[in-house]
Chains A and B, each alone.
Chain A
Amino acid sequence: MDILAGILLAAGLFFLAISCLGLIRLPDFYTRNHAAGKSGTLAAMLILLGLAIYHRFDITILRLLIIFLFFAVTGPTATHVVARAAFRMGLEPWTLKNRNPQFTSDDACCDVQTEDGEEGAGQC
């Protein structure tokens, strides 16, 4: 039983490392969101399942089940809301032609300095 819990915990740590690697290495916001959302949720659920098996399923493990269900519901929801907000604000996705994605509207975000150049093809 401990071996199964250890395997699940190690798998969770592996997917968590994959999630952080994708967050650092991928080229634009949408791909980073993809990596962090899916892999992070799977890693959290694997780690919580491993800990539940390690603790031998008594009554206090119901609270761990609450955190498990909470991750299953809120992880994809938060990812979707942030990605939809970025799309509706006009953040262009990374393509082969557009290597430096920016916002399409000028006053969209104060954090991005807009260099004048070719305007993007996408409109929101």
Chain B
Amino acid sequence: MEGFIVFAAFFILALNVVCFYRVIKGPNVFDRALAISVIGNNTVLILVLVGFIFKRIDMFFDIAVVYALLNFILSIALGKYFENRGKQA
């Protein structure tokens, strides 16, 4: 089971590298924002898995909660900013 958790962490890391294609290639800014949001979600899962690997669940869970909160605020701020800009134009 420990080996499977390590495999899961590396698999999610590989998926992050794949998702980075959309950040570079994305035709407009919303695609980039969406890809960054997906990468942030995957990073929260990697942090939780790393907490299980190193047996320091309490510390890594706090870091994961803070990272999830920052990721959510990033999406909300980008959405509100571009929405108001669309109304103005």
Contacts and interface: CB of A to CB of B under 8 A. Distances in A.
A115 B28 CA distance: 14
- Chain B, interface size category, equals 35 or more
Nearest to B89: A105
Interface residues of A, number: 50
Contacts of A48: 45, 48
A74 B45 CA distance: 15
Interface string A23-58: 110000100110010001000100110010011000
Given A85-B30, A88-B86, A24 B68 contact: no
* Interface of B (DSSP majority class): helix
A23 B61 contact: no
A107 interface: yes
Contact of A19 (B38, B71, B80): B38
Contact of B57 (A6, A55, A75, A88): A55
Interface string B37-81: 110011011001100100001100110110011011001101110
B64 A67 contact: yes
B19 A60 contact: no
A33 B32 CA distance: 11
B15 A81 contact: no
Interface of B: 1, 4-5, 8, 11-12, 15, 18-19, 21-22, 27-31, 33-35, 37-38, 41-42, 44-45, 48-49, 52, 57-58, 61-62, 64-65, 68-69, 71-72, 75-76, 78-80, 82-83, 85-87, 89
Given A44-B41, A78-B71, 19 more contacts: A6-B4, A9-B5, A23-B19, A32-B31, A36-B38, A40-B38, A40-B41, A47-B48, A47-B49, A60-B61, A67-B61, A71-B44, A71-B68, A74-B68, A77-B76, A81-B76, A88-B86, A89-B83, A124-B86
